[in-house]
Amino acid sequence: MKTKPITVLSLVLGLALSMNACTEQSSSSSSHSHGDETHSHAEDNHAAEDIHESIPLGSMMINDFTVELAQGHGAVHAGEEEHLIVKLQSSEDEVLAIRAWIGTEDKTQSFVGKGEYSADRDVYDVHMIAPQSLDPDAMWWVELELRDGTIKTGSMKVIQ
């Protein structure tokens, strides 16, 4: 397959410009609070997106784990990036991964996000895109993958 030089040049230029935009965005510094916690986004690519107030959703039990949830971008909107803040109240040594999505338990038409642990806040941040068609009764689904290979799930109502 032959590639025209202009196509390759356009691709390289486009990538360079997008990388520069990401670098400029991530170098900005801001701080805000999530419920009763405050943190800074000095090197966080989501700094511009995290300007909304978080909404505490409450806690639930998944297996032997108490899980507290909060929506980090305010109300959920169809087709937009959403942020779920997950705090485990039990021993986290057993948990390999945390995943979350909006929709139904079977993940149909859902985008699944994997939690990134924030040691300074002792929470997992999960970013994903809400489904384009958002049911009024949509649920947050949280999946805990345990070290023994089992997967446990729980759900809580989405605030729209």
Please give the full DSSP string across 93-156, using - where no structure is assigned.
GGEEEEEEEEE-TT-TT---EE-EEETTTTEEEEEEEPPSS--TT-EEEEEEEETTS-EEEEEE
Whole-angstrom distance, CA of residue 111 vs CA of residue 102: 7
Of residues 54 and 5, the one with the higher pLDDT is 54
Residue 54, helix vs strand vs coil: coil
The predicted-structure confidence for 17-33, as pLDDT tens digits, reads as follows 433 333 333 333 334 33
Does residue 132 surpass a pLDDT of 60? yes
The predicted-structure confidence for 141-150, as pLDDT tens digits, reads as follows 999 999 999 9
CATH superfamily of 52-160: Macroglobulin (MG2) domain (2.60.40.1930)
pTM for this prediction: 0.67
The residue extents of the domains of the chain are 1-51, 52-160
Of residues 92 and 54, the one with the higher pLDDT is 54
Whole-angstrom distance, CA of residue 52 vs CA of residue 60: 24
What is the chain's mean pLDDT, rounded?
77
Does residue 70 surpass a pLDDT of 80? yes
Maximum mean pLDDT: which of 40-54, 57-71, 89-103: 57-71
